[in-house]
Homo-oligomer: A and B are copies of this chain.
Amino acid sequence: MTTSAPQAGQPGEQELARAALTYLAEPGDPALGALLAFCEPAEVLAAIRAGMLPGIGPGCGDSPASRKALARALECWRVRLPGLPGDSGLAAAHRNAIRLVCPADPEWPAGLDELGRARPYALWLRGHGDLRAAGLRSVAMVGSRAATGYGAHVAGEIAADLAEQGWTIVSGGAYGIDAAAHRGALAAEGVTIAILACGVDHPYPAGHADLFADITARGLVISEWPPGRHPARLRFLVRNRVIAALARGTVIVEAGERSGALNTARHAAHLGRPLMAVPGPVTSAQSAGCHRIIRDWGATLVTRAADVIEMLSPVGAADPPTAPAPPGPRPADQAPSRDELDPDCARVLDALPARGGARTSTIAVEAGVDLDAVLRCLGLLAGCGFIERCDQGWRLRRP
């Protein structure tokens, strides 16, 4: 076992600390969220190691009760210190093609910051896509594990149509609607993101190993939990807030009255993101939750991809920015400019003809990029609004 720094760039002190914190605390821990609002991650990690509470601020250690809760949390985190891998596990993760994305990184999706103190400490990623770019035009599609044939069919169809039009699908990794949504997006050669409640090195359920491999090849498998962590019932619920916060809006396809998908729906509603539901037969228990949130929560009834896109595209905002980005930091919800694309994407974009369309294989030859990478780049470029599908394959999108 080596403890040398990972080859993919030098992780900074704060990045290493954040990686360590994902090992020590459960995601969404309000005590750690409160501490991170006032202290640098490295400072918090040092405090945990030392067993001494760090500085205080409003709502964080500024009352005896709050201070007592923090001290108790500190003890819990310290319990996991002996299991903390060297180098915060980054070297081993890197060997498994897993990388870490932290709030300060350019790839960090701005939408997650709306979770406030419940924001993930960091995310572990597997796959080649740019998380921020993929999330810019993304839809969460979740639902019942015990989906009916109807539900799985509709989820697949809508996800495929959305992916065709350059939208990224965001979902969990469960059987039923989650899997149908990913498969629909993959069938349309789109980008899809699976957000797990366990380490991305052993995605759960194991029966979806092939699906996770396909998602990794064309999109991203991500998690707040570090590699090696197992799933647990509560973790799925904690994970749901990330699904809702990463996507621009959430679609519930099938959900029983007590489905976990309604938990994701509640997060979307609390975040003020568009909440949508697909109706079904009133005789189907798997549609009862969808009907309830349309009736009682004001979720919008959607029947097809166009309905979803309409909900997520404010009037006049459907067209992507085409002028080069202004100098300085990129605004939170703006697609990367042409200059900011990764080398593969830039070559693929350059390979598209000025007029008319080109087939994927032609583009690959022209760009000199292998077909897998071309597929990934095309999805991302479509997601960022640079290109769109056409009869001939792909073409540049006009302003």
Residue-wise, chain A 258-290 has the 8 Å CB interface mask toward B (1 for contact) of: 000000000000000000001111110001100
Q: A279-B280, A280-B279 are in contact. Are A295 and B300 (CB under 8 A)?
A: yes
* A153 and B303 contacting across the interface, CB-CB below 8 Å: no
Q: Are A301 and B303 in contact (CB under 8 A)?
A: no
Chain A residues within 8 Å of chain B by Cβ, number: 20
Cα distance, A385 to B278, chains bound together (Å): 38
Find out whether the CB atom of A282 lies under 8 angstroms from the CB atom of B304. Answer: yes
Q: CA of A281 to CA of B283 in the docked complex: distance in angstroms?
A: 10
Cβ contact of A282, chosen from B282, B283, B294, B303, cutoff 8 A = B303
Contact B307 A301 (CB under 8 A): no
Q: Give, as a whole number of angstroms, the nearest-CB distance from A215 to chain B.
A: 25
* Chain B residue at minimum C-beta to C-beta distance from A302: B295
A307 contacts across to B, CB distance below 8 A? 295
Contact A281 B282 (CB under 8 A): no
Chain B CB within 10 A, most for which of A281, A287, A302, A304: A281
A248 at the interface (CB under 8 A from B): no
Pick 18 A–B contacts, CB within 8 A, sort by A.
A154-B282, A278-B282, A279-B279, A279-B280, A279-B281, A279-B282, A279-B287, A279-B294, A279-B301, A280-B280, A280-B281, A280-B282, A281-B281, A291-B303, A294-B294, A295-B301, A295-B303, A301-B301
Residues of A157-206 contacting chain B, CB below 8 A:
none
- Chain B CB within 10 Å, residue with most, of A295, A300, A307: A295
Interchain nearest-CB distance for A311 vs B (Å): 10
